[in-house]
């Protein structure tokens, strides 16, 4: 069974979805650690409720990205973490973690990448008056949401779409799709282009 660390910066709704499927047995994984860069994030409360250890830090207390990533890495090693799952973690992963966990870091993003990368993808889609947005799950590389795509699922924007309504649509997909893809990763190993495979 894979030991995973979930990285989150905010509410942690995807973190909760992963907790739920691990507890129900639908996802064969052990959530060994939450890593969070915001001490007041609700994700920390979710971890406490589920009795999952947390490593909570503030970047400003470290001299560099390398310094706080070394601190994270020490915690990952302490808990024998096999795989990193990003779930609303609002920092680029740097070389320290990328080299230690190459090919073993995944992220979920609320758009159809490469459209609307970075922060506030939902706001970006609404501002662009896009017809479509959606969800992308991808491997993490050194870029901003640029890693190889595992799967995407589309969401049509209605004419009167609001931030809340679009976020609700996207999260409904995220909470189902992320655990499904993680289970594939943990049982089948390296997977990529699942979207294309399903279309064929």
Q: Which of 152, 142, 155, 151 is nearest to 65 (CA)?
A: 142
**Phi, psi at 120, each rounded to 5°:** 55, 55
138 is catalytic: no
Rounded CA-CA distance 186/156 in Å is 30
Helix (H) or strand (E) holding 70: helix 65-78
Which residues are registered as beta bridge partners of 6?
A: 34, 85
- Cβ atoms of 180 and 137 within 8 Å: the answer is no
| Strands of the 132-139 sheet, one edge to the other | 54-56, 29-36, 2-8, 83-86, 105-109, 132-139, 149-156
Which residues are registered as beta bridge partners of 85?
A: 6, 106
Q: Which of 119, 114, 97, 115 is nearest to 35 (CA)?
A: 97
Q: Which of 2, 109, 138, 169 is catalytic?
A: 109
The catalytic residue positions are 109
């Amino acid at each position: 069974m894979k030991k995973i660390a979930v990285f989150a910066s905010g509410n942690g709704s995807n973190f909760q979805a992963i907790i739920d499927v691990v507890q129900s047995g639908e996802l064969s994984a052990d959530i060994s650690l939450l890593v969070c860069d915001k001490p007041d994030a609700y994700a920390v409360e979710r971890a406490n409720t589920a009795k999952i250890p947390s490593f909570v830090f503030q970047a400003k207390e470290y001299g560099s990205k390398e310094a706080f990533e070394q601190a994270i890495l020490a915690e990952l090693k302490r808990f024998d973490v096999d795989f990193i799952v990003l779930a609303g973690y609002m920092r680029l992963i740097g070389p320290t973690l990328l080299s230690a966990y190459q090919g073993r870091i995944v992220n979920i993003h609320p758009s159809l990448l490469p459209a609307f990368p970075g922060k506030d993808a939902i706001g970006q889609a609404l501002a662009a008056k896009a017809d479509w947005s959606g969800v992308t799950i991808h491997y993490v590389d050194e870029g901003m949401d640029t890693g190889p795509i595992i799967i995407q699922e589309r969401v049509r924007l209605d004419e009167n779409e609001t931030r809340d309504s679009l976020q609700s649509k996207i999260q409904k997909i995220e909470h189902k799709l992320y655990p499904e893809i993680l289970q594939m990763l943990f049982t089948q190993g390296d997977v990529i282009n699942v979207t294309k495979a399903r279309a064929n």
